[in-house]
Chains A and B, each alone.
Chain A
Amino acid sequence: MTETSQANPDNLLSQSALATFLQWLAIAILVYLLISAVGMIGDGFKGATRGQADELFQFATNPFMGLIIGILATAMIQSSSTVTSIIVGLVAGGLPVETAVPMIMGANIGTTITNTIVSLGHVRRDKEFRRAFASATVHDFFNVMAVIIFLPIEILFHPLEKIGGFLAGLFVGGEDMSVKGFNFIKPATAPVIDAFTNLSNLISENAASILLIIFGIIIIFLAITLIGKLLKKLMVGRAKVIMHRAIGKGPLTGIFSGAVVTFLVQSSSTTTSLMVPLAGTGVFRLKQIYPFTLGANIGTTITALLAATAISGETAVFALQIALVHLLYNTSAVSLIYGVSFLRTMPVRGALWLAKVATQRKSIALAYILGAFFGVPAFFIFITNQF
């Protein structure tokens, strides 16, 4: 080996430190773009609806329609963080919070498709497939149960909306009605928003607001995908430490570590999908996977909260309100369903049963995925349009 080709440990170390620094810098830029894009959607939506957002979203005032929109949108792009960030932007643009709440609930269900698809990779070994499929669908059953319990209560009494509104009022205020402590966000994001507004105007003055929304959605999707990829690389070591510490501890530690790992990688789909191969090997039991998966539901709410910091002005309070509704909904669902023993076992029993029949007839698994995430929602849209 020549002298030049020999690796100098000091050089390697500084190269690795530089690579890490660049990756964190990229994340910072992407978070900046994400926040700017949420602002773009808000501005674009305001411009497109000219203050008549509730009329435009009249079709979604039916809460079941809102729920279905949330499910379909999230299942299609496989990212609840993207959908909830877009919803925050739409609320900032005038979408009523009441209309947005079922959409947030739907996003929770839609995101479960990702780990269910990951579990299909174990199809060739029956035992492994059964365990993997059960570990994935326990999340589905839990999220559907949460909607069955919380949506009717929300329609009748609006507790999440009211508590979210109260808490948002504590954080948002002041002369310019922006999130306290985040007043610098608007001037900071203005250059990006202005640049895309000008670009949209250049392309088409008539459709500039719509184009701004489309740009916003694309940027949010790309930013969240790239942030997720970078954080996966950067945070895998930290995630390992957290998971090592959680092994052999109780379910509360499982929920906590699930939330922290999701916060670190900024993706509940990644966290819940990660559990699937661990369950498939049989080394982790469904009982251990279940609380970790629920923690992911809580950890993922940080993205919408981050997105809400992008909004200033009179709608800032509503943007933060819907982000807080997301957090409140997921923590309440975990506390209630996991806290009450007969409710706690229902998702597990449902998942074990479905995994058993899906292992016996694989076409049931396929029918389940296509039906639950696309067929049933589409059918409900059809029915709603008929009456």
Chain B
Amino acid sequence: MSQKEYEHISTKRLRRLVKRTSKTLSEMQEELDRRYLEEQHSEIDHLEEHLDETEHGLANFFAFFKEVMGDKK
């Protein structure tokens, strides 16, 4: 919406719209935060898999070394 379009809206209605939009925005933010925390909890639930991943140090290093050498060629 451009500024010109707002000129036709009464101040009272504009205030009401701002209030409603703010409320919607804060609700949406809360929902985003909730989903973000939920994702984090879900990742922690898979802690065993992440722990396994930490055991492949040397394999990671050599795979990385190969990748870097491949890039060079």
Taking the complex as formed, is A283 at the interface, i.e. its CB lies under 8 A from any CB of chain B? Answer: yes
Query: Which of B47, B56, B65, B67 is close to A243, meaning CB atoms less than 8 Å apart?
Result: B47
Looking at chain B's contact residues, the main secondary structure is helix
SS of A interface (majority): helix
**CB closest residue in chain B, given A246:** B44
| Alpha-carbon distance A15/B5, docked complex (angstroms) | 74
A283 to B50 alpha-carbon distance, docked (Å): 13
CB neighbours (8 Å) of B60 from chain A are 117-118, 120-121
> What separation, in Å, do the CA atoms of A247 and B44 have in the docked complex?
10
Size category, B interface = 20 to 34
Q: How far is A211 from B50 in the complex, measured between Cα atoms in Å? A: 39
> Is A277's CB under 8 angstroms from B64's CB?
no
Expressed in whole angstroms, the minimum distance between the Cβ of B48 and any Cβ of chain A is 6
Q: Is the CB of A236 within 8 A of B51?
A: yes
Task: Kindly state whether residue B68 has any CB partner on chain A within 8 Å.
Answer: yes
Smallest CB separation, A118 vs chain B (Å):
5
Closest to A363 in B: B68
Residues of B within 8 A of A239 (CB): 47
Inter-subunit contact B41/A247 (CB<8 Å): yes
Q: Which of B40, B56, B71, B72 contacts A121 (CB 8 A)?
A: B56
A-to-B contact residues, CB < 8 Å? 78, 114-115, 117-118, 120-121, 123-124, 232, 236, 239-240, 243-244, 247-248, 270, 273-274, 276-278, 281, 283-284, 362-363, 365-366, 369
9 A-B residue pairs with Cβ-Cβ distance under 8 Å, sorted by A, are A115-B54, A118-B60, A243-B44, A244-B41, A270-B51, A270-B54, A273-B57, A274-B50, A277-B54
In addition to A115-B54, A247-B44, 8 A-B residue pairs with Cβ atoms within 8 Å of each other are A120-B60, A121-B63, A232-B51, A240-B47, A274-B54, A281-B43, A362-B68, A365-B68
